[in-house]
Amino acid sequence: MKASILGIGTVTPLGCGIETLLSGLEGTAQPNIVEHTVETAKGGIALPVYTSAAEGLDRFIPRNKLRRIDRFLQMALLSSFHAIEDSGLNLEDRTRIGIVFGTGYGPLQTSFDFLDTLIDDGDKCASPTLFANSVHNSLVSNVSIALKLQGPCLTLTSFEMTSSSVFSTASAWLEEGKVDYVLTGVGDEYCEVRGYSTILSGSENVSAIKPSAFNDCTYLPGEGFVSFLMGKEKGRKAYGSISSIETGSGNPVKPDHSALFLAANGDRSTGCHYDNLQKGKDLTRLYSPLYGGMPAGQGFDVAIAALSLKDGRLYPSPEVSGAEQKQAEPQIREILHSDSIACLQYDDNGNFGLITLSGKD
Amino acid sequence: MQAGITGLGCICAAGDSLDEIMPALYSANRNPAPSKRVEAGLENLPPVFEIASDLNHINPGNDETRTTLLLLSAVNEALSQSGLEADYLKKKRVGVVIGTTVGSTLNNEPFYRAYRAGKFPDMQPIKRYLTNNPALYIANRYQWDGPAVTIANACSSGTDAVGMAKSWLRGGLCDIVIAGGSDELCRTTYLGFNSLLNTSPEPCRPFDKFRKGLNLGEGAGILIIEKERSAQERGAKILAFVAGYASSGDAYHPTGPHPEGAGLSRAINIALQEANARPEQISFINAHGTSTVDNDKVEGKVIEQIFSDKVPFVSTKAYTGHTLGAAGGIEAVLSVRALLDGQIPATAGFKDFDEECKVAPTTNNTPIKGNMAMSNSLAFGGNNSVLILKAGQ
């Protein structure tokens, strides 16, 4: 059994909705990169940040409720609404729809906002609302309430291994018949502390992610959320299927591999593992300059792979980002001669998650 | 394929190992008290179930989080009981799935206070966070090559971890799984639960009419789960099987349960179906039983609806406190041991029947009939997870 991708929703620095992701792939749109100043012992240091915003969520949730929803949850909600809308399905028995989300860092800003209430107002004044929204599964909780999904609910967090875990779990639920559909999603958010740790980890003076410079530190933080509605229906699938998920350590890439998307993002500690691959250069792509650096980045590559299979096209890697790529130029798309695309992400210990999508049943 | 449990490990306020913990439970021995480690500027400090030790003996000279040290303790105990040795494990595909709450969160308060104060703290606390993701830590430490997943599903995380282990074995993803949960007490959760007004100023009283809330706890509970045939081939004793698991959402409220327990009912019925069991075949229930007004009312109501008053149930949180992401792992471990012991402990603190709960937990050590136990976990956010454990042959 293959788990089919029936609908996709994205909130990325390119905008909201898969059309914006497609525009980024085609080179007609650029990611929203906002320059932050990070205060360090050396003084203020500029840090370009791939910034996302859940614009248009008021189409699904009344404006007066939006102000009580933090940014990260807004991204998860909007991408989820879009994924279901994109599927075109009328989902009836919501006790048979599960939800599994993954995040590398969780709702970071809300976690620190909660600590702010302790620091500013004292231990007696800890905010119950911020506490409830600071736990990792607050996204799943609130999205399940908003969409009335009453199947199994799960939140996974394993840094760079998060996306492969999420897709593996969703596929298993479908395979075991626990659900008819699964809303699957991954994402991360930016906050000031993440900016500070990015600078101290070596991203000082980085102006652009250069993902194929595997041994250089060119990491810039990104944020966003991508959701997928997955199911077993053969006839309906628009975007292909998850045909296999492998995890382990070492090099999983076979010499005759299909198109390969690497989630390398300028992080030197993971980059060295990609550098050891025997890559077929013509079919290898790196898209992190579209969405920025984050542990859950592989999920965005899965969305790009699904779009590529749908269109039968292979989009070029955006070579650089940020100030070096201000001029938008339409990119030449190649015909995708393969029926499958593999998405690979490493962690700094050399563990990998390899998600392969297929256009065939 | 049956998922056989061949090793158990546990550490909590009731003891550092199962051989210490079970006698404490059977003698109704508990001692929740204000924390000696977690400072809080509150007038009345809610008692907690805290482990007295600093745990430094578990992995001396290293820089692990307390959650990781608790986890290591339980993993070592469980591996020892299973008889699995390092050389054997190297030849097998070993997966790790661990539930946690604190262990997945970057909420290092001293670091953040220093950062906010413009003191430019160094990265060590961040590095510690990045290298102490519970499942990844264990997989990397032992160089196991199977899937490694940390579940952050609030209070059902440990139960969900055991359920995922069963799924991995059934799907052929690995041969052996280290599954359970681990969580430490910390200021964030202590003050957070206090802000939600659901911590008790006194020792918790699960299902009691005059219960006033939960006591937080800390600990870890780990199960070694492997394919029945593999365990038999190496001559291991199968203590129990993971016979059923289900999870279902309320989609109702971010912090409170559905008033009729809709999600819990569904999860119990699906888990029973997966275990091919009828309600009357369940020997006992290890309830979620947090001792909060809402949880116990809803859970009691559902237990009464499905099991009438014929199945004895206990809340072992009366002895461990609510250990959040670890709770499901700890309670699965204690349930298996109780199955093997042929009895369940009294629910310490319970005295007065609450008509709204509909049912009463054990008040004495209670002999059990049959060979199946059920363990419930209800999470923040409305997820309900249920395990059914069946004693080994």
Give CB contacts under 8 A, 24+ apart, made by B271-275.
B271/B244, B271/B245, B271/B246, B271/B374, B271/B386, B271/B387, B271/B388, B272/B244, B272/B388, B273/B244, B274/B243, B274/B244, B274/B245, B274/B246, B274/B388, B275/B243, B275/B244, B275/B372, B275/B388, B275/B390
**B253: annotated active-site residue:** no
Taking an 8 Å cut-off on Cβ atoms, the answer to whether A119 and B250 are in contact is no
Q: Where are the alpha helices (DSSP H) in chain B?
A: 18-26, 66-82, 86-90, 109-116, 124-131, 134-142, 157-170, 187-195, 228-233, 262-274, 293-307, 317-320, 327-341
* pLDDT the model gives residue A257: 75
Question: Domain coordinates of chain A in residue numbers?
Answer: 3-358
**B258: annotated active-site residue:** no
Both structure tokens of B209? 């009419």
How far, in Å, CA of B318 to CA of B269, rounded? 26
How far, in Å, CA of A289 to CA of A309, rounded? 21
| Catalytic-role residue among B155, B174, B186, B204 | B155
Chain A positions in Cβ-Cβ contact with residue B137 (cut-off 8 Å): none
Residue with tokens 């030197």, as numbered in its chain: A268
Chain B positions in Cβ-Cβ contact with residue A168 (cut-off 8 Å): 147, 173
Interface check for A351 against chain B (CB to CB < 8 A): the answer is yes
Among residues B320, B296, B321, B292, the alpha carbon closest in space to that of B376 is found at B296
Report DSSP state, residue A125: G
Among residues B369, B371, B154, the alpha carbon closest in space to that of A142 is found at B154
* pLDDT the model gives residue A327: 46
* pLDDT the model gives residue A95: 96
Residue with tokens 């090793």, as numbered in its chain: B7
> Which three-class secondary structure state does DSSP give residue B207?
coil
* pLDDT the model gives residue A281: 58
Report DSSP state, residue A180: S
Residue pair B360/B310 in contact by the 8 Å Cβ criterion: no
- Listed by number, the residues of chain A in 57-86 with a beta carbon closer than 8 Å to a beta carbon of chain B are none
Among residues B15, B352, B331, the alpha carbon closest in space to that of B206 is found at B352
Please report, for residues B212, B279, B296, B326, the alpha-carbon distance to residue B284 in angstroms, rounded to integers and kept in the order given: 25, 10, 17, 21
Q: Rounded to 5 degrees, what are φ and ψ at B320?
A: -110, -15
Distance from CA of B222 to the nearest CA of A (A): 18
Helix (H) or strand (E) holding A179: none
How far, in Å, CA of A239 to CA of A10, rounded? 14
Residue pair A227/A79 in contact by the 8 Å Cβ criterion: yes
Distance from CA of A211 to the nearest CA of B (A): 21
Chain B positions in Cβ-Cβ contact with residue A124 (cut-off 8 Å): 41-43
Among residues A63, A80, A92, A61, the alpha carbon closest in space to that of A139 is found at A80
Size of interface A-B (CB pairs under 8 A): 199
- Sequential DSSP letters for A186-232: EEE---HHHHHHHIIIIITT--S--TT-TTS----B--EEEEEEEE-
Mean pLDDT, consecutive 10-residue stretches, chain A (361 aa), reads: 90 97 94 97 97 97 92 98 95 95 97 97 96 96 96 97 98 96 98 97 94 95 98 75 94 84 96 80 87 97 96 85 48 73 96 92 58
| Domain A3-358 = CATH 3.40.47.10 | yes
Residue pair B374/B391 in contact by the 8 Å Cβ criterion: no
Angle between helix B134-142 and B66-82 (nearest 10): 50
Distance from CA of B278 to the nearest CA of A (A): 19
Q: Which of B120, B149, B381 sits opposite A158 (nearest CB)?
A: B149
Residue pair B5/B241 in contact by the 8 Å Cβ criterion: yes
> Which three-class secondary structure state does DSSP give residue A52?
coil
> Which three-class secondary structure state does DSSP give residue A142?
helix
> Which three-class secondary structure state does DSSP give residue A325?
helix
Among residues A255, A259, A258, the alpha carbon closest in space to that of A317 is found at A259
Q: Which residue is closest to A176 within chain B, CA to CA?
A: B167
Question: Domain coordinates of chain B in residue numbers?
Answer: 3-391
CB-facing half-sphere around the CA of A348: CA atoms within 13 A: 12
Q: Which of B126, B192, B247 sits opposite A197 (nearest CB)?
A: B126
How far, in Å, CA of B285 to CA of B315, rounded? 8
Cβ contacts of residue B288 below 8 Å, gap of 6+?
B155, B295, B299, B315, B317, B327, B376, B377, B378
Residue pair B381/A141 in contact by the 8 Å Cβ criterion: yes
- Sequential DSSP letters for B331-353: HHHHHHHHHHHTEE---TT--S-
Residue pair B176/B233 in contact by the 8 Å Cβ criterion: no
Cβ contacts of residue B57 below 8 Å, gap of 6+?
none
* pLDDT the model gives residue A279: 59
Taking an 8 Å cut-off on Cβ atoms, the answer to whether A137 and B154 are in contact is yes
Chain B positions in Cβ-Cβ contact with residue A126 (cut-off 8 Å): 191-192, 194-195
How far, in Å, CA of B174 to CA of B165, rounded? 9
How far, in Å, CA of A275 to CA of A341, rounded? 19
Q: Which of B42, B164, B188 sits opposite A124 (nearest CB)?
A: B42
Both structure tokens of A193? 């502390």
Number of residues assigned to chain A: 361
Q: What is the fold of B3-391?
A: Peroxisomal Thiolase; Chain A, domain 1 (3.40.47)
How far, in Å, CA of B51 to CA of B16, rounded? 8
Handedness of CA A86, A89, A90, A95 (dihedral sign): negative
* CB atoms near residue B117 (< 10 Å): 10
How far, in Å, CA of B63 to CA of B59, rounded? 9
Taking an 8 Å cut-off on Cβ atoms, the answer to whether B252 and A145 are in contact is yes
Interface check for A163 against chain B (CB to CB < 8 A): the answer is no
Q: Which of A135, A147, A149 sits opposite B101 (nearest CB)?
A: A135
How far, in Å, CA of A32 to CA of A16, rounded? 12
- Sequential DSSP letters for B234-285: TT----EEEEEEEEEE--S-SSS--TT-HHHHHHHHHHHHHTT--GGG--EE
Note the pLDDT tens digit of each residue in B38-92. Answer: 999 999 999 999 999 999 999 988 889 999 999 999 999 999 999 999 999 999 9
Report DSSP state, residue B199: B
> Which three-class secondary structure state does DSSP give residue B98?
strand
Taking an 8 Å cut-off on Cβ atoms, the answer to whether A247 and B252 are in contact is no
Q: Which residue is closest to A136 within chain B, CA to CA?
A: B152
Cβ contacts of residue A207 below 8 Å, gap of 6+?
A48, A322, A323, A324
